Structure 1
């Protein structure tokens, strides 16, 4: 069985999905510490004039807490900002009307816990990609020897081409002539729909 240990990102980038494309089981670790400047609470989408980062505000200034203890700051109107950004960026995308309601419902759930929120989104992404990978919440300390560990490797501050997971397979995006690689998987789903699976598999970096 192909098993991969991964971080639970917010609406993960295409590199994440290229890295786990062949996984039969994805292990997730609620007791791993929250890391600032990571994809745990941020993702990137494409708007008409720029690439925009969507960030989930969290409670506390520098929480060095396990992921499952991180609370979302609902004093800020971030859900409305994110949903408006998605509608502005992708409202005219070919598959927006089909996929958007699945995510809108999760955003409007008022979930207080970042871990639960990200888990709901990742579960939905895998369902829409029709990937059979099983998500396993792993509370143990010793990772089984047959598990490939990619935690803390896919980070915003390091170029994805420096890593061994993702080499962009371009697809038709909504804005601009230049292809923007490695955005949130939502960019791919909204733009190409059922072709997303094949594009991700074509994007797996060859060694």
Structure 2
């Protein structure tokens, strides 16, 4: 069965746990951009709370395909994201090994969201040792007849309950907080567990 999943910005741990379980997936490029999802946002663990990092989009309220929607750089979100990431993970055990790569990906200032997300995905799959074959859709496919494993918007910030059906979070050391914060961005996992990250997926 063909598996389709949405493109995400520094995806959460559940996303990579799911990818690791598949030999091949298709990244959706032809759907309309959906607001308030992981497509343009991620969550990291700051000193006081879990922090959302959201990328502003040009025409985010309009029906624009994910392959076409462009990133808004008039706002200083890029510097804000980088400061937040540095503040959250600069003292973590492994962040320094990934920092230059993450910096270069972000500050390449990709015009389209899909290009930024794809470069992030390629980097993360490599460092997580995930060999899943990644394809990209060329047309939108509905799942009216149940012919697809449709994971579009299934891993979602407002659908925490669904994660238990995809993976069972394994606690790992985190810098902040007394209780483990599950299913944050892969940035949290990589920064805190480094080369052991794939063991937690």
Give the whole-Å Cα distance in 2 for the aligned partners of 1:152 and 1:92: 33
Give the whole-Å Cα distance in 1 for the aligned partners of 2:193 and 2:115: 27
Query: Residues 75 and 139 (structure 1 numbering): CA distance in 2 closer, same or farther, change over 3 Å?
Result: same
TM-score scaled by length of structure 2: 0.92
SS of the aligned residue for 2:25 comes to strand
Match of 2:196 in 1: 195
Give the whole-Å Cα distance in 2 for the aligned partners of 1:20 and 1:187: 18
Q: Which of 143-152 and 36-45 deviates more?
A: 143-152
Match of 1:93 in 2: 92
Gaps in structure 2 of 5+ consecutive residues: none
Query: Residues 46 and 4 (structure 1 numbering): CA distance in 2 closer, same or farther, change over 3 Å?
Result: same
SS of the aligned residue for 1:148 comes to strand
SS of the aligned residue for 1:10 comes to coil
Match of 1:31 in 2: 30
Alignment of 1:44-193 (within 5 A): 44-142=43-141, 148-161=149-162, 163-193=164-194
Give the whole-Å Cα distance in 1 for the aligned partners of 2:114 and 2:22: 21
Give the whole-Å Cα distance in 1 for the aligned partners of 2:48 and 2:113: 29
CA contact (8 A) 1:171 1:192 kept: yes
Query: Residues 184 and 68 (structure 1 numbering): CA distance in 2 closer, same or farther, change over 3 Å?
Result: same
Aligned residues: 199
- Runs (4 or more) in structure 1 with deviation over 4 Å come to 141-147
TM-score scaled by length of structure 1: 0.90
- The Cα shift of 1:115 comes to 0.7
- The Cα shift of 1:24 comes to 1.8
Give the whole-Å Cα distance in 2 for the aligned partners of 1:44 and 1:87: 14
CA contact (8 A) 1:4 1:20 kept: no
> Aligned-pair RMSD on alpha carbons?
1.9
- The Cα shift of 1:61 comes to 4.9
CA contact (8 A) 2:155 2:163 kept: no
Q: 1:143-192: CA deviations, max 9, x gaps?
A: 89985321121111122356510221000001122100010011000000
- The Cα shift of 1:51 comes to 0.6
- The Cα shift of 1:89 comes to 0.2
